Amino acid sequence: MTASPQASHANAAATPLGGSEPLIDPHAHFHTPHTNRGDWERYNQSRLDAGDRIGVRCHVASVLGSWGYTSPTYFASPADQTIANDWMFDFAAAQGARVKAYVAVNPNYTAHALAEITRGIARGAIGIKLAAGRRADDVLLDDIAQAAADAGMPVLHHVWQHRRRDWPNQDASDGVELARLAARHPKVTFLLAHIGGGGDWAHTSPAVRDVPNIVMDLSGSGIDRGMIDHALQWVGAKRLLWAADLTLCTGLTKLRALAYTGASVDDIADMRWRNAVRIFPAGAFDRAVTPSKPSAGACL
C-alpha cells in the first residue's frame, strides 16, 4: 500500500533535518526579560523549536549581560552579568538535558568573575564564556583560565578571525592572541568561537595548529565553501566542533556540508557530538546522547 501524502509528510517532519545521530550545539545564546527585546520569549522558543527540527540534543548557552540594554554587550556590568547568569542557570535547570549553561564573565572585574565562576559551578554550569571584553592574551585572563583548569571546564572565547584593527565597543581577539593564552594554560581546553564569524578564516587554523588545547567551533553566519575543508586539513576533526551561535539556519548549512568535505563517518560524529562529550565535564551530556530506556512494563 502506498503511504498517503499526509503520512509521508508526518514521517519527514519526524526525521531531524540534520539526521538522527546525536548533535550538540556548544555555542548558543538566549535572551532574557532584562534585555531590549520585547519578544525574548518568542525568540527563545523559536531557537528551541528550530533546534528540535534540526536534531540538536543539547544547546550549551550563555547570556551576555543585558545584551546592551543597560550596559555594553561586551563590557557587561557586574550587576547585569549576575542577573544574566542567574536567568541562564534557572532556564537550563528548567529545560533539563535540552539546555546546559555557561557562566559568562567580564574579565575586567576579576573578583566578580571568579565569584561568578564559583557560583556557576554550584548551579550546574559546564563551561566559562568570555566575550570581547579583554584581548585574549591579556594577563587579566590568567586567573579565569586557572579557575577553568581547577574546575575541569572549557572556556569558550569570542574570536574575530584575523583582527586587522580595533573594533568599536569590543576588545576583539584573533587566533594568534588566543593561542598565547592557551599556551600559558595547557590544561585548559579553549573553544575558539565561530570560524565563520567575520574576518579571514584562512588565517585562523594555521595560527592555532600547534596549540593542541584549542578546539575551533564552526559557528557564525559565514558558510564559505572550503572553510571547513581548510580547518580539517590544518587541525583535524578532533579539534573541530559543529556549532550554531545566533543563526541555526547557517548552522544547518554547515552541518549538511560535513558530508562533502571528505570527512569520514567517525570524523563527522566527532564534530557533531563526540568532541563535546570529551571536552566538557564528564556526564554533562549523558541524558542528551544516550537513548532513554523504556520503563518497566512498557509495551515494546
Q: Where are the alpha helices (DSSP H) in 32-102?
A: 40-54, 78-95
Average pLDDT, rounded, for the chain:
92
Cell numbers linked to 93: 535547570
**Can you name the residues that pair with 130 across neighbouring β-strands?**
105, 157
Residues near 7 by Cβ (< 8 Å), separated by ≥ 6? none
Lowest-pLDDT range, 11-20, 86-95, 153-162, 271-280? 11-20
Distances (CA, A) of 80 to 105, 131, 148: 10, 14, 22
For CA atoms 45, 46, 48, 52, the dihedral sign is positive
The answer to whether the Cα torsion of 69, 71, 76, 80 is positive or negative is negative
Length of the chain: 300
Q: What is the pTM of this model?
A: 0.92
Tell me the β-bridge partners of 103: 128
The confidence band for 198, taking pLDDT boundaries of 50, 70 and 90, is confident
Sheet (strand 155-157) strand order: 24-29, 58-62, 99-105, 127-130, 155-157, 190-192, 214-217, 240-241
| pLDDT value at residue 164 | 85
What does the pLDDT read at residue 293? 46
Predicted pLDDT at 13: 55
Q: What is the CA radius of gyration of the chain?
A: 19
- Which residue in the block uniquely carries the three cell numbers 536534531? 55
100: three-class secondary structure by DSSP: strand
Residues 285-297 have pLDDT tens digits of 999 998 654 334 3
Query: Is 145 a residue whose pLDDT tops 50?
Result: yes
pLDDT of residue 168: 87
Q: What local confidence, expressed as pLDDT, does residue 83 receive?
A: 98
pLDDT score for 163: 86
pLDDT beyond 90 at 10: no
Taking 50 as the threshold, does the pLDDT of residue 12 lie above it?
A: no
Rounded average pLDDT over 273-283: 98
**Reported confidence tier of residue 14, pLDDT bands at 50, 70, 90:** confident
- As a whole number, mean pLDDT of residues 221-240 equals 95
Which CA distances in Å does 275 have to 87, 89, 198, 246? Answer: 27, 23, 24, 21
What would the 3-class secondary structure string for 211-259 be? CCCEEEECCCCCCCCCHHHHHHHHHCHHHEECCCCCCHHHHHHHHHHHH
> Cβ-count burial of 231 within 10 angstroms (0-12 exposed, 13-18 middle, 19+ buried)?
buried
Query: Quick check: 11 pLDDT over 70?
Result: no
47-57 pLDDT, tens per residue? 999 999 999 99
Average pLDDT over residues 253-266: 96
| Residues 63-80, mean pLDDT to the nearest whole number | 97
Nearest to residue 18, comparing CAs of 236, 244, 292?
A: 244
Tens of pLDDT, residue by residue over 94-140, are 999 999 999 999 999 999 999 999 999 999 999 999 999 999 999 99
Q: Which three cell numbers stand for residue 227?
A: 572553510
Place of cell 565569584: 115
Q: Is the pLDDT of residue 3 over 70?
A: no
DSSP 49: H
CA angle, 66 then 71 then 76, to 5°: 75
CATH topology of domain 20-289: TIM Barrel (3.20.20)
